[in-house]
Amino acid sequence: MSIKYTSITGFKDILPEAIYAWQYVEDICRKIFKSSGYREIRTPLIEKTELFKRSIGETTDIVEKEMYTFIDKNGESLTIRPEGTASVVRSYIENNIKMKEKIFKIFYMGPMFRHERPQKGRLRQFHQIGAEIFNVSAPSAETELLLIINSIFDNLNVTNLHLHINSVGCPSCRPEYSKELKKYLKSNINNLCDNCRRRSDTNPMRALDCKNEECRVILDKAPVISEYLCKECKTHLNNLQLYLKELNINYIYNQSLVRGLDYYTKTAFEIVSDEEGAQNAVVAGGRYDNLVEIFGGEPTPAVGFAIGVERLLRFAHIPEDTNASPELFVATIGREAYSVAIKLAMLLRTKGIYVETGYSDRSLKSQMRLADKLKAKYVLMIGEEELKNKSALLKNMSNSRQEIISIKTEDDFLNSLKGKIT
């Protein structure tokens, strides 16, 4: 009995019919990143578990429940990356980048892995396109990143998404707020869900993210961080808002926005759709001014974002692929004709022209059917007779007109295609 294999829950194939949209989005992002001075970085998919625990935070959902962690053959605990920022920070320090580059701007694209409950818009292997800037403490860095995201959206005709921003404070003002929030949560503990109860002890700010309706009633009245921000965090937030206003970037100042990762300081943002549910964030990011230092590097401010590609694709308008059909389809009869034809096909292919062949073991009729199905613009037929005369029959598929062309030399062949095949 043969076993039928299926992919793992939450892991999906991206089939060739979907790839054009993916590449279109990636190409747009690459262009915009390049013209803004961001270069690509590719870090390993697997890192030491400790890296993610220390950066994302021991008491976050990602670290507590969602990481693909395993012990490798050397007995070391490793994790398949749940996000990209921690690896980039590790690489920044390990490669001494600060010594070489005052401001480091990079982007990345690739799969991330989280063992979440799969549902609409939530996968276990999903893809992010992200960017990070190191060593700029001014809110002009956030502003540039938000403008880059807007430019990506404009190019993809993405509308109806809303930017929410908040400040989550810094180590000098957040502890005081956390203390007050903890006190408030404790005084309402009997009306909170189990998750919020636990979080009230371990990570009270994470409770603010709870979607439970009964908890929401209490959480909506909880102390807000804006009243506890230190002068530096307040000024940073105010200046960022001034930039956004001056540049006509619409935003909602959302004081209950907290992120699912602990490394953020000052700015946190999300770009969300109107759709109901927790899976509505298409882009998320923020500042993490202490992470480089936490990892043992010199204090270095940093900020970045990541777009969820699967989620972005639901809102993007991708134009039709105009290069999807072959310019030329070569149909042949017999082995000898195929050898001649494939040489001619490769001559055009090396010039970047899309050429298909019918492979010679099928009847001419079935090769023509295939050419039709692929919507080939021209068909080149070579049979015994043509082979003898060093010629071929060229058929224009849009008007069925046929002509005999010479294939005596490569130049003869190329000349007869002039003005027909681009």
Q: Which residues ranging from 60 to 79 are in contact with ligand HAM (CB under 6 A)?
A: none
User: For the purposes of burial, counting CB atoms within 10 Å of the CB of 193, is it exposed (0-12), middle (13-18) or buried (19 or more)?
Assistant: middle
Contact pick of 67, 136, 158, 282 for ligand HAM (by CB under 6 A)? 282
On whether the CB atoms of residues 391 and 404 are closer than 8 A, the answer is: yes
Q: Give one word for 105, left, alpha or beta, with left for phi > 0 and alpha for psi -120 to 50.
A: beta
CB of 174 to ligand HAM, least distance (A): 17
Name which of 153, 162, 109, 32 is nearest 306 in CA terms.
109
Query: Which of 257, 306, 344, 370: binder of ligand HAM (CB under 6 A)?
Result: 306
* Residue (266 or 395) nearer to ligand HAM, CB: 266
- Short-list 329, 373, 371, 377, CA closest to 349: 329
The least CB distance from residue 113 to ligand HAM, in Å, is 9
Q: Annotate each residue in 232-271 with x if it binds ligand HAM (CB under 6 A) or - if it does not, as one string.
A: ----------------------------xx----------
Of residues 24, 14, 25, the one with CA closest to residue 312: 25
Rg (CA), the chain: 28
Q: Which of these segments, 23-31, 81-89, 237-245, 365-373, binds ligand HAM (CB under 6 A)? A: 81-89
Closest CB to ligand HAM among residues 84, 204: 84
> By Cβ distance, which residue is nearest to ligand HAM?
308
Nearest approach, Cβ of residue 93 and ligand HAM (Å): 16
Q: Which two tokens stand for residue 231?
A: 């002068």
- Phi and psi (nearest 5°) for 222? -70, 160
Instruction: Pick the closest to residue 272 from 264, 280, 263 (CA basis).
Output: 280
Query: C-alpha angle with apex 283: 282 to 289, nearest 5 degrees?
Result: 155
> At closest approach, how far in Å is the CB of 365 from ligand HAM?
47
* Amino acid letter, residue 151: S
Which strand (E) or helix (H) includes residue 109?
strand 104-113
Compute the least distance from the CB of residue 85 to ligand HAM, in Å. 4
Candidate ranges 216-224, 225-233, 239-247, 276-284; the one touching ligand HAM (CB under 6 A):
276-284
Taking phi over 0 as left and psi of -120 to 50 as alpha, with beta for the rest, 259 belongs to: beta
In terms of CB distance, is 130 or 204 closer to ligand HAM? 130
Q: Which of the residues 108 through 127 are near ligand HAM (CB under 6 A)?
A: 114, 116, 122-123, 126
What minimum distance in Å lies between the beta carbon of 101 and ligand HAM? 18
The binding site for ligand HAM (CB under 6 A) comprises: 83-85, 114, 116, 122-123, 126, 128, 130, 132, 260-261, 281-286, 304-306, 308, 310-311
